[in-house]
Amino acid sequence: MVDDAVKLERRRAARVVPPEPVTVTMENGQGPVAYGIVANISETGACVRTDIGFPVGEELLVRLNFAREAQPLSATGRVVWQSHPPGESAGALRHGVQWTYDGPHRVRLRLLVKAMGG
């Protein structure tokens, strides 16, 4: 119970599990592009399941494809954690990404997250 309380205190915004899939591409500009899906998202970051791993601290360009949105949303983020859940396939990497750019795209992101209930 105490661990859960500490985790909640560290979060600056509520996480939302998207009601419809939000697909992503992530890249660092130096290697292959990772493809994935958002597990949960907030106005400050996201948990993304991908097929390629990125090290903690890596700066990424993330393109998010929301259902019923004509254009993908581009955001920049930093990997703050990475894990491979036990018992899952080799391509099931999870990354915690914290958004790093506060501009017009971030306003759109906030609106999309709020529309999902966040």
pLDDT by residue (tens digit) across 76-116?
Answer: 999 999 997 656 665 679 999 999 987 788 888 889 999 98
Domain layout of the chain by residue ranges: 9-93
The answer to whether the Cα torsion of 78, 83, 64, 116 is positive or negative is: negative
Return the pLDDT at 59: 96
Return the pLDDT at 68: 87
Question: Residue 21: is its pLDDT beyond 80?
Answer: yes
Which pTM does this prediction carry?
A: 0.81
Distances (CA, A) of 15 to 1, 62, 116: 19, 18, 10
Residue with tokens 């992503």: 24
| 3-class secondary-structure state, position 84 | coil
Q: Which residues have C-beta within 8 Å of that of residue 76, sequence separation ≥ 6?
A: 59, 60, 61, 62, 99, 100, 101
The CATH number of 9-93, from 3.40.50, 2.40.10, 1.10.8, 2.30.30, is 2.40.10
Look at 19-28, 42-51, 98-107 and tell me which has the smallest mean pLDDT.
Answer: 98-107
Side chain identity at residue 77, one-letter code? G
Q: Which two tokens stand for residue 77?
A: 């983020």
